[in-house]
Amino acid sequence: MGRPMRVLAMRIADHLVCCWPTAFSNFVLETSASLAPGGTWTPLTNGIGVLGGSFIVTNAIDTPSSLFQASPTVKQLFLSMKDSEK
């Protein structure tokens, strides 16, 4: 299946910076306020830029708590399911 997708998260001053390789353009960064069962994950669509070979998003640390995950797009999940049927 290739190399795993990783999101690098680092604190720079009073910001949290998340970045991941542009080679994984089939992934979306999602955010949620809770890990509770039934919690909602929402695609993060604002503030994502490209720097070198990475997507990058910066968030102020003083904003309300947020959790992040990278998920394959629906199209990518569909293609993965089709491949597993072979």
The closest of 47, 40, 37, 27 to 67, measured between CA atoms, is 40
Residues pairing with 16 in the sheet: 11, 59
Stronger pLDDT, 85 or 70, i.e. the higher one: 70
- How many CB atoms within 10 Å of residue 28? 20
pLDDT digits (tens, 9 = 90+) for 11-29: 999 998 988 899 888 888 8
Q: Kindly report the pTM of this predicted structure.
A: 0.68
pLDDT-above-90 percentage for the chain: 19
Find the mean pLDDT for residues 37-58: 89
List the chain domain ranges: 8-84
